[in-house]
Amino acid sequence: MMFALFMIVVLLVTGLIWLFDSLVLSKKRPAGVDEPVVVEYAKSFFPVILMVFLIRSFIVEPFKIPSGSMMPTLLAGDFILVNKFTYGLRVPILNNTFLKVNKPARGDVIVFHYPPNPSIDYIKRVVGLPGDKVGYLDKRLTINGRRVDVEDAGYYEYVMSGLNVVEAKQYHEQLGVKKHDILVHDVMGSYDTDTIGAKFLEGEEVTVPDGHYLAMGDNRDNSSDSRVWGFVPEQNLVGKAFFIWMNFDQGSRIGTKIE
């Protein structure tokens, strides 16, 4: 969000300089006199900045994965692309939808403004849609009274902070038409009172409110998600993650489609 604001400011400054020179300064400039350097730079940068701004705001935006909360689907260090129009076109900064397209589907990997601090972007998987009744007990999801299907996929080892190697159980999980992998650890979660996570631990189910989504990380026991801070408002949506375009440590991940 801060980068978008920076882009708008630079776009306005360079555009106004170009416009002011075209309407006022150029008419007073003697023949043969070069343009001021600031005007020359403004004219050079404005079209480029405008193009980048339009692409990032309405078509596709790059993001870097900062943590392992979406493992094994996404790894820390993955550079991904996010489709900005699949959930509708939005006013930059304000994030209000002015052209509706699609709604998130159960199982989509979404980028959104973190509800407690919208200046931060988060990435998680959509687990519950508006109106869904969701439960999570014994490491298994229940949606609208039906337990979500999973298949054993063996074990998955990875390195956590502090260079500690940990092992997790890996499963193939089926959310609607979406099949993806999740990790679960042999630990019990701990949540503040009245959070969604605390209700899950008590065997309760929650109903997703209208205009909101329940999101969880694929690394189920190592993810700060809706169980901790609540539902994702539709207005916070940024886009749908769909492609890994770079990973400097693992080149084999380049070109991977995000499912």
**How many C-beta neighbours within 10 Å does residue 219 have?**
23
H or E element, residue 13: helix 2-20
Catalytic-residue membership of 161: no
199: phi > 0 → left, psi -120 to 50 → alpha, else beta; which? alpha
- What single letter denotes the amino acid at residue 185? H
**Cα–Cα–Cα angle for 21, 25, 26, rounded to 5 degrees:** 80
Contact between 77 and 248 (Cβ < 8 Å) = yes
Residue from 57, 69, 223, 226 carrying the catalytic annotation: 69
248 by Cβ neighbours in 10 Å (0-12 / 13-18 / 19+) ranks as exposed
- What single letter denotes the amino acid at residue 126? V
Enter the DSSP assignment of 23. I
Residue from 57, 84, 124, 223 carrying the catalytic annotation: 124
Identify the CA nearest to 230 among candidates 207, 202, 198, 196: 196
Catalytic-residue membership of 69: yes
Identify the CA nearest to 226 among candidates 124, 147, 151: 124
The three-state secondary structure class of 236 is: helix
Angstrom distances, CA of residue 156 to CA of 25, 72, 168, 180, 182: 65, 8, 5, 14, 10
For the annotated catalytic residues, the residue numbers are: 69, 124
